[in-house]
A and B are shown apart, each in its own frame.
Chain A
C-alpha cells in the first residue's frame, strides 16, 4: 500500500511540474514558430560578420549556425547537409559549425525547461555560448595549423620531386 501511495504521489507531483512547464513551453514554441514564419533569422544573418570572422567562418555559415542555436540541432544539421550537398560551405567550415552546435543548440527551449526546475537561465545561456565560441575558435586554430603543415609538407615533397627530375 505504501508503495502504491508513493508512486501515486510522485506521479502527481511530476504531472504538476509538467503543468508548470506547459505554461512556459506553449508560448515559447509559438514564438519560435512565428520567428520561423517571419524568417527572423534571415534578418540577422547579415549582422553577424564580427562574430563569424572571430570564428573564422564565412558569411554563408550564419544561417545554419543561428538556426541550430535557436531552433535545435536537427534543423541545424539538416541545413548543414543541404549546404554540404550544394557545396556552399567547405568541409572545414561544416566541421566547425558541427562543433559549435554540439555544445550549444536549442538554447531557448532547453533553457526554459531547466529554468522551470529552478536553474538560473542567464548562467546557462552564457556558459554554453562562451564555451562553444572558445572551443570552436580553438578547433579552427588547430585545424588550420594542421592543414598548413600538411600543405607545407606536400609543397616540400613536390619541390624534392622536381629537384630529382632536374637531375
Chain B
C-alpha cells in the first residue's frame, strides 16, 4: 500500500464525520426555520431587522442566518440560508460577514490561548464583519451598479 493512501483515508473519514455533523445541524435548523416561516414568525423577525439588514443590502430574513452563524456556527447559518431566497450577490455578502464572525462562544475561547481577550475578540470580529458587509454592499451597488 503506497504511503499516500493513509492521509487520503484520513481525509475521507474526516469528511464523512463532518458531513454527518452537517446533517445533524443543517437539517433540523432548516426544518425549524421552515416551521417558523409557516407560522409567520420569520416575517415578524424580518420586519424588526429590515432596517439593519438593508445596510448590507440583505432582506430582513437574513438576520436569522446571521444570528445563527454568530452564536452557533457556519453550518447552522447555512441551514437558515437554504430556507430563504437570496441573489448570488446577497449570499456572497452574507458569507463574508459570517466567514469573519462565527461560532463566537467556541472560537473566542480557543483564541484566548493566543492572549486575545474574549470581549476584545468579540468586538473585533463583530465590527470587522459589519464593516466588511457594509463595504461590500457599497462596492456592489456603487461600483458594479447593483
* Interface size, chain A (Cβ < 8 Å): 54
With a cutoff of 8 Å between Cβ atoms, the chain A residues found around residue B111 in the complex are: 73, 77, 98, 101-102
CA distance A119 to B74 in the complex (A): 13
Q: Are B110 and A73 in contact (CB under 8 A)?
A: yes
Report whether A37 and B6 are in contact in the complex, using a CB–CB cutoff of 8 Å.
yes
Known: A13-B82, A102-B107, A127-B136. A81 touches B19 (CB 8 A): no
What distance in Å separates the Cβ of B127 from its nearest Cβ neighbour in chain A? Answer: 9
Number of contacting residues on B, CB 8 A? 54
Are A117 and B11 closer than 8 Å at their CB atoms?
no
A135 to B129, CA, bound (A): 12
Hey, what's the 0/1 contact readout for A92-104 against B, CB within 8 Å counting as 1? 0011011101111
Q: Mark A10-42, 1 if CB is under 8 A from B, else 0.
A: 110111011001100110111111101110000
Q: Which of A13, A25, A110 contacts B19 (CB 8 A)?
A: A25
Determine chain B's interface SS by DSSP, over half rule: helix
Q: Which residues of A contact B96 (CB under 8 A)?
A: 119, 123-124, 127-128
| A interface residue numbers (CB < 8 A to B) | 3, 6-7, 10-11, 13-15, 17-18, 21-22, 25-26, 28-34, 36-38, 73-74, 77, 80-81, 84, 91, 94-95, 97-99, 101-104, 110-111, 113-114, 117-120, 123-124, 127-128, 131, 135
Say which residue of A18, A73, A114, A128 sits within 8 Å of B22 (CB atoms): A18
Count chain A CB atoms within 10 A of each CB in B124, B128, B136 and give the residue with the most.
B128
Docked pose: A38 CA to B7 CA in angstroms: 9
